[in-house]
Amino acid sequence: MSYTGPGFDPPPPPQSRRRLTVALAALVPGALLGWAVYAAVGGSGDDEGAAGAPSSAPASSRAPSPSSGSGSPSAGPEDEKPGASATAASPSASAPAASGPLKGKVVVIDPGHNPGNFRHTTEINRQVDIGTNRKECDTTGTSTNDGYTEAEFTLDVAHRMRTLLEKQGATVRLTQDADRPFGPCVDERARIGNRAKADAVVSIHADGSGTGNRGFHVILPGAVNAGAADTRPIVGSSRELGERIAGTFVRVTGSAPSNYVGGGTGLVTREDLGGLNLSTVPKVFVECGNMRDSKDAALLTSGAWRQKAAQGISGGIVSFLRE
């Protein structure tokens, strides 16, 4: 997701909320440790030049992914992540939950975009109501310079998360599993979590920012009350979910919080994303890294690192739900 559109809300001051103060106090040392590890294995990336256009490398040159979907989508900046199509489809549900600490809890994982979106540009460009205004149904997402797509990445991480969370006893649903031609649209993605009465919803993404911009960030819903959108009841719980995910992501992956948004906290608040605006249950987006930076791309295309990303995000969800 590239950020050429609306600006960001600055992170709230630490004294505004005791919980946030405690969370960030725990996050900052972890972030510094994560950055030390990150720099040791990959460097800061500050010596990189400008990003080039995505390559149309054949699928055989891409990192392996368990998801279906072939071809290279038209890359380009994306300012919104979820997507829905006009074709209704049931969300992919997990097998019956095992016993475990999360038994009885419902987690919805929202893998950003869809491998088939690039074949349906007319459908994904149609406008949908996100409460504050109207926006495109979805986008194709971004990709690495050698063609590994965001849609492939998000499905891979979602599958890994589903396995981890089911072992904890959670019932897990995916908003899409490459089981539909395109989408779903951003408004429908939000409704899937709402209808499931999910205890937590996490939308998985990877950014498409400039070279040298590195690290992860978690996008939190701002307080929106317009049209069909009213996030006020879920702002606090979503922030707690996001803080816990950010903390575990740093520790498990060794990646640092974003060096280009969030002021080093790994947390960003937005009010322009339909997937958050229309949610009535705790929900955040996780931008796992920047696909257009070669050093971040090396991590995102690594199966071993994607497993760590899945563990980091899942660990934050478990921590949030067990409180």
272 SS3 class = coil
In the prediction, which pLDDT does 65 show?
38
User: 290 has which bridge partners?
Assistant: 207
Beta strands in 83-142 (DSSP E): 92-93, 106-111, 127-129, 134-136
pLDDT of residue 323: 78
AA identity, residue 39:
A
Question: Distance (Å, rounded) from C-alpha 93 to C-alpha 227?
Answer: 30
Residue 14 domain flag:
no
Residue 96 in domain: yes
Catalytic site includes residue 287: yes
Which pLDDT tens digit goes with each residue over 267-284? 999 999 999 999 999 999
The pair of structure tokens assigned to 39 is 């720099």
Domain hosting residue 152, numbered range: 23-41+74-322
Contact 40, 295 (CB under 8 A): no
Considering the candidates 123, 150, 240, 287, report the single residue annotated as catalytic: 287
Say which CATH number the domain at 230 has: 3.40.630.40
Q: How many CB atoms lie within 10 A of CB 250?
A: 28
- Residue 239 belongs to some domain of the structure: yes
Query: What is the pTM assigned to this prediction?
Result: 0.75
Domain count, the chain: 1
Q: Give every residue of the chain whose pLDDT is below 70, as ranges.
A: 1-97
CB-CB contact of 191 with 271 (8 Å) = no
Using alpha carbons only, what angle is made at residue 178 by residues 172 and 183, rounded to the nearest 5 degrees? 95
DSSP labels for 192-259? Answer: HHHHTT-SEEEEEEEE---TT--SBEEEEE---EETTEE-GGGHHHHHHHHHHHHHHHHHHH-PPBPS
pLDDT value of position 99: 84
Amino acid at 321: L
> Is position 9 within any domain?
no
Residue 17 lies in a domain: no
Q: Does residue 11 sit within a domain?
A: no
Q: Which amino acid is at 277?
A: N
pLDDT of residue 95: 58
What is the spatial distance between Cα 214 and Cα 266, in angstroms, rounded to a whole number? 11
78/114 Cα distance (integer angstroms)? 13
Query: Is 68 contained in some domain?
Result: no
In a domain, 298, yes or no: yes
